[in-house]
Chain A
Amino acid sequence: MRTIKLGLLRGGLEIKEFLRQRESVVFTLAFPVILLFIFGSVFKNKIAPGVTFSQYFVAGMVASGLVNTGFQQLAISIPMSRDLGTLKRLRGTPLSPISYFIGKAIVVTAAMLFQVTLLLGFGALSFGLHLPTSAALWLRFIWLIVLGSACSTVLGIAFSSVPKSGRGASATVSPVVIILQFISGVFFVFSDLPKWMQDIAAIFPLKWLTQGMRSVFLPDSFAIKEPGHSWEIGKIASILVIWLIIGTVLSVRSFKWSKE
């Protein structure tokens, strides 16, 4: 109980910290909006009657927002905190690493909710984005965000043990994220990618998150274009849960409070 209570307190503290770092707020919250603006302005064509590229792209933007805000941000910032001694200090207190992880999951989820609200609001107002109309779709959207944030958080913490220092972290983490984004159908229509690339992408959670987001933002008639010829919602949930478990185990086992 104490572990969870301290986790919630850390979450509150981290949100406070996050909101005070103007650069990170602007980057995290506005970056997807800027990308949508650029892609929406460049690709004005419709990919199907009544479905704009922006409509397709927003699913990818939300999914890759989860990867950027959770995985990428943590895998870079945790090695930096490690270099500064912030983590070593925490290690010296009775704080459990689990509480630290819970705090991170909370700040990631909160940042995601801000980011998505801004993105969808901007998309609906400026690019004629169609928002989901049924409560069931909104519910699916919310659990995808929450499960996706949790998954992305634990994988980010697990990966934070890979970079040797905070300085090199960005160079180690960013290529992984960019390649995943390209092969998972964030920037391209996934069904246009070669089969082997789709198969590789199917190992990682980003492809499934993007597919889940497509099921929220695209008409049901698009389901047939997916590799499984349906949205495969149950499979998406299972694969994300498996990655959540893998990420949690790796985080607990490999987490390093200091460089030694």
Chain B
Amino acid sequence: MQSSSGIAIEVRGLRKSYTTKSGTKQAVDGIDLEIKSGEIFAILGPNGAGKTTTVEILEGYRDRDSGEVSVLGADPGRLGRTDREWRNRIGIVLQSAADAPDLTVAETVHHFANYYTKAKDPDHIIDLVGLSEKAKAKVATLSGGQRRRLDVALGIIGSPEILFLDEPTTGFDPEARRAFWELIRALRDEGTTILLTTHYLDEAEALADRVAVINKGLVLEIATPDLLGGRATAPARVTWSEGGQARSELTQSPTDFVKTLASRFDGEIPDLAITRPSLEDIYLGMIGEL
């Protein structure tokens, strides 16, 4: 249904505040998003930026104070009788969820398959997330990373059109993360829309087709990872030593600058280096941590 418009998720002016003992906290302060069908979209931001609140509103877990939300053409805050039909089309991997520790991986995945009308073959899914060897192991005996992969298996068992992943690789070792990224790309290639929250820059850079950077409940920018924060056009920094002092210059034309600089020196320019801002520099600058 949603593929005709090409938009899987649309958010306009989303706001949500919480009342705590110390006062009212504006967790989401007017967010707009438009996520296309079939893309991997990452929401990147520091802890407490409003990522989880936003995603949980889209997943139908939380109410919102105001704004328009449409996920697969439906408003997750007003599903009513269409709730189960809608949930049949989405998959959710929560930040923290525990399963029955005394059931095996295979029993758990096979059981969840019953909930969906378009469930995939459970054994294939167990294989896909790399848990074949643990299929007969009880959930209680799994390592943190293996549990996370079980979470993903339960999120994708129903062939979702949209998969929500909330900080999916927290606590993974580098090898497991790479394997996980491959899995997510494979799902995207099958046509699944993926909305991912992360506070890892490299994860957003490696996976996402587009990234929204959010902080303090606001979207700071939405762009492809290579264009984020004007990264492609950011000035280069040329650093060198002159007269025993460290010098530096920001320039749009580092080649010309170095040519001019070279004419002032007889031979090598001491400590010459040309650097472009890394994604991390850009990101930290955006969220005000630099």
Contact = CB atoms under 8 A, between A and B. Distances in A.
| Overall SS of chain A's interface | helix
A96 B97 contact: no
A93 B59 CA distance: 11
A197 interface: no
B281 interface: no
Interface stretch (B6-14, B87-95, B233-241): B87-95
Contacts of A130: none
B244 to A, nearest CB: 60
B111 interface: yes
Nearest to B88: A94
B107 A16 contact: yes
A23 to B, nearest CB: 11
A20 B94 contact: no
A235 interface: no
Nearest to B84: A94
B154 A6 contact: no
Contact of B97 (A86, A95, A260): A86
Contact of B102 (A21, A93, A258): A21
Interface string A22-54: 000000000000000000000000000000000
B246 interface: no
Nearest to A93: B115
A92 interface: yes
A9 B114 contact: yes
Interface in B73-115: 84-85, 87-88, 90, 92, 94, 96-100, 102-103, 107, 111-112, 114-115
A92 B59 contact: yes
A17 B108 CA distance: 11
Given A6-B114, A9-B114, A85 B102 contact: no
Contacts of B96: 85
Given A94-B115, A94-B116, A95-B115, A86 B99 contact: yes
Interface in A95-114: 95-96
A13 interface: yes
Interface size of B as a range:
20 to 34
Contacts of A85: 94, 96-98
Nearest to A21: B102
Contacts of A89: 92, 94, 97, 99, 154
B85 to A, nearest CB: 8
Interface in A194-223: none
Contacts of B85: 94
A95 B158 CA distance: 12
A17 B102 contact: yes
Interface in A79-93: 84-86, 88-89, 91-93
Interface string A3-17: 000100100010011
A78 to B, nearest CB: 14
Interface string B107-129: 10001101110000000000000
Contacts of B102: 17, 20-21
The residue among B90, B99, B115, B158 with the most chain A CB atoms within 10 A of its own CB is B115
A260 B100 contact: no
Interface string A238-251: 00000000000000
Contacts of A86: 97-100
A82 to B, nearest CB: 11
Interface of A: 6, 9, 13, 16-17, 20-21, 84-86, 88-89, 91-96, 258, 260
27 contacts: A6-B114, A13-B107, A16-B103, A16-B107, A17-B100, A20-B102, A20-B103, A84-B97, A86-B99, A88-B61, A89-B92, A89-B94, A89-B97, A89-B99, A92-B61, A92-B94, A93-B112, A93-B115, A93-B116, A94-B84, A94-B87, A94-B116, A94-B158, A95-B84, A96-B84, A258-B61, A260-B62
What 8 pairs between A and B have smallest CB-CB spacing? Answer: A84-B98, A20-B102, A92-B92, A85-B97, A89-B97, A94-B84, A94-B87, A94-B88
